[in-house]
Structure 1
Amino acid sequence: MSQLRARRAGLLVGTVICIFIFLYLRNPTPEEPEEAPTYPVVVECGFYPDELCSALFEGKGAASQIAKFCKNPYGSQILAHLHTPGNCSRISQGLHFITRPLSAEEGNFSLAYIITIHKELAMFVQLLRAIYVPQNVYCIHVDEKAPKKYKSAVQTLVNCFENIFISSKREKVVYTGFTRLQADINCMKDLVYSKYRWNYVINLCGQDFPIKTNKEIINYIKSKWSGKNITPGVIQSPNSKSKTSPSDSEFTLKGNIYASPNKGFKGEPPHNLTIYSGSAYFVLTRKFVDFVLTDIRAKDLLRWSKDIHSPEQHYWVTLNRLKDAPGATPNAGWEGNVRAIKWKKEEGTGHDGCKGHYAQEACVYGPGDLPWLIQSPSLFANKFEPSTDPLVVTCLERRHRLQVLRQAEVPAEPHWHFQQQGHFNMKLNR
């Protein structure tokens, strides 16, 4: 009886808190100055707090305050599926993976993904199921330094899908080091030799999340970059201080400023190449990937890159500026809405400030950043830390799935829907 009473007491407390949240968000009093309310150390917001997410997307300050005290709503559920013995059908359905192409257009245009991960297992699953469709192919690079339990859980998930695999060669990835670039190259080799035919490859890390659907990503590529690679970057002015010298190993990346062209390197670049600087993240054509893996200039540049700082910020953009490279964009600059990032140095000009906190000069998003994120034209956003602000990814994921199902041209399977709980469905900005 004592256990039963304890359960009833817990349910009663949870119900009271949920009612409080609902009434607080639905009945704001803007005419009076808001005082900082007192909250419990942790609030159980319910597994699927759609009303709270909706308020966050609308930019309501009270919602952001409440969200700070919410537990991770589904991290434990995701991990339970990966650590509990069961068949693959139970895993794919329990984790709400899309299991059929959602339109003819999408079925005829396959994307390849490279995802490098080392932590935040639940976040990885949320990212993967957001971008997953059966006609795409996914290479997962798990950092060789990751714990055995982490690797085992990823392997359990990967084993349930023919079009997802772990990179055959894994690196001990070091931030700003050559191994970060090599990890992408390793996956590219696996993707080229896989049985899957794909049109473009996109690389991501475990702190990324899509803010566009698979259909929207394809439409963006076709309409803006048909047959072209997207590698945002430029030649830096000659008077910029070099940040790529091997002796500058303690340099912390700041914004989009990386290096001046061919200044401060250990040696001259091979083939008299002009070194460009830009994003480590890309959208590349299949033909360009073949070029990267076979062209003598690309091979020599890769060897030369072992001696420079953050080579991934130079390698892709430099090769894509070669006029004879497949899908090259020799005259491109920072064009290409691949990734939304709030850089600290751009606060007040490029964005309205970070509502979470900065790490390596980039914003780790908080709930208050959600209105900015959903208005961004970019395909993906970075950075997210569910362990710090779990509702940010949760809300984005639920909004993303509703958009996916709304755009689908086939009947939705029951398990494609996330469980609904609450008084209202989450509102979307159309």
Structure 2
Amino acid sequence: NCSMVLKTLHFITRPLSHEEGNFSLAYIITIHKELEMFVKLLRAIYMPQNIYCVHIDEKSPKDYKAAVQNIVDCFENIFISSKRENVVYAGFSRLQADINCMRDLVHSKIQWNYVINLCGQDYPIKTNKDIIQYIKSKWNDIIQYIKSKWNGKNMTPGVVQPLHMKHRTQVSYREYVHSGMSYVYPTKNIKAKPPYNLTLYFGSAYYILTKEFVEFTLTDARAKDLLEWSRDTYSPDEHYWVTLNRLHG
């Protein structure tokens, strides 16, 4: 019963300020367990002016998927990603899950400004308004002096690939997928260098990205080629976004 869900869980039903109502965020949430934790996270970040894509690990139990679907069905601005992956920690499937949501989000009727990715065990320590004001203030001075074609800046910091992380891209990795245990393992196959002789950067798999940058990653030939090259690397989500950000920046 959706009215019971809204009332019992105390979801916010209207923008809490004019500023928030005019600045929509998109969220990508990848989950696979702990329904109660997911609900707590969703309650904490939910705003009716935002849009939320939830990616459920295809390996998750049927009753878990059904429970999440029942909650999502109560909201017009929350949806399950149209394509689901068997997610393996440190595997390409984790990166693909985000991209699946991005492909759905760019077609959303809600005109969002930035996308933020989270996992089901995350929890915010800032309010929606705090996050918006941080995004605006973070790049306010830069935007005043530099007219960026991206209408803002991404938050995906990183450094040139450290020596102790060279192994992640020197040989091919494969995913072993099983409902009980899944993992990534190295092969003896040596990988070719990155396309376009790109310099790889490494950083966090978590980010705040502009909508324009998301559209760039989904359409640019260099982004597509780097994605394909990254398919058999270790934890590609820790180099893909950071490297692309340096590519266009």
State how far apart, in whole Å, the 1-side matches of 2:5 and 2:54 are: 18
- Report whether the alignment pairs 1:106 with 2:12: no
Quickly say closer, same or farther: Cα 1:168–1:287, change in 2 above 3 A. same
Which of 164, 169, 173 aligns to 1:240? It is 164
Which of 212, 218, 230 aligns to 1:287? It is 212
Larger Rg: 1
State how far apart, in whole Å, the 2-side matches of 1:302 and 1:247 are: 14
- Report whether the alignment pairs 1:165 with 2:93: no
- Report whether the alignment pairs 1:268 with 2:193: yes
Secondary structure of residue in 2 paired with 1:234:
strand
Question: Is 2:161–2:200's contact at 8 Å kept on the other side of the alignment?
Answer: no
Deviations 1:347-368 (A, max 9, x none): xxxxxxxxxxxxxxxxxxxxxx
Deviations 1:15-68 (A, max 9, x none): xxxxxxxxxxxxxxxxxxxxxxxxxxxxxxxxxxxxxxxxxxxxxxxxxxxxxx
- Report whether the alignment pairs 1:140 with 2:54: yes
Shift of 1:236: 3.4
- Report whether the alignment pairs 1:176 with 2:90: yes
Instruction: Show structure 1 runs of 5+ residues with no match.
Output: 1-85, 251-263, 329-430
State how far apart, in whole Å, the 2-side matches of 1:165 and 1:188 are: 12
- Report whether the alignment pairs 1:305 with 2:219: no
CA RMSD of aligned residues (A): 1.6
Question: What does 1:8-407 correspond to in 2, within 5 Å?
Answer: 86=1, 88-226=2-140, 227-237=152-162, 239-240=163-164, 242-244=166-168, 245-246=170-171, 266-322=191-247, 325=248, 328=249
Quickly say closer, same or farther: Cα 1:173–1:241, change in 2 above 3 A. closer
Letter in 1 for 2:154: N
Letter in 2 for 1:231: T
State how far apart, in whole Å, the 1-side matches of 2:118 and 2:45 are: 11
Deviations 1:101-144 (A, max 9, x none): 00000000000000000001000000001000000000000000
State how far apart, in whole Å, the 2-side matches of 1:167 and 1:299 are: 20
Which residue pairs with 1:401 in the alignment? none
Quickly say closer, same or farther: Cα 1:248–1:289, change in 2 above 3 A. closer
State how far apart, in whole Å, the 1-side matches of 2:217 and 2:124 are: 26
Q: TM-score, normalised by structure 1?
A: 0.51
State how far apart, in whole Å, the 2-side matches of 1:249 and 1:210 are: 33
Secondary structure of residue in 2 paired with 1:130:
helix
Question: Is 2:172–2:232's contact at 8 Å kept on the other side of the alignment?
Answer: no
Secondary structure of residue in 2 paired with 1:153:
helix
Secondary structure of residue in 1 paired with 2:52:
strand
Question: Is 1:124–1:206's contact at 8 Å kept on the other side of the alignment?
Answer: yes
State how far apart, in whole Å, the 2-side matches of 1:247 and 1:302 are: 14
Instruction: Show structure 2 runs of 5+ residues with no match.
Output: 141-151, 176-188
State how far apart, in whole Å, the 1-side matches of 2:14 and 2:51 are: 14
Secondary structure of residue in 2 paired with 1:173:
coil
Secondary structure of residue in 2 paired with 1:181:
helix
State how far apart, in whole Å, the 2-side matches of 1:276 and 1:285 are: 19
Deviations 1:166-205 (A, max 9, x none): 0000000000100000000000000001211100000000
State how far apart, in whole Å, the 1-side matches of 2:33 and 2:139 are: 33
State how far apart, in whole Å, the 1-side matches of 2:165 and 2:58 are: 34
State how far apart, in whole Å, the 2-side matches of 1:123 and 1:295 are: 36
Question: Is 1:265–1:308's contact at 8 Å kept on the other side of the alignment?
Answer: no
**Percent of pairs identical after alignment?**
71
Quickly say closer, same or farther: Cα 1:136–1:270, change in 2 above 3 A. same
Quickly say closer, same or farther: Cα 1:159–1:295, change in 2 above 3 A. same
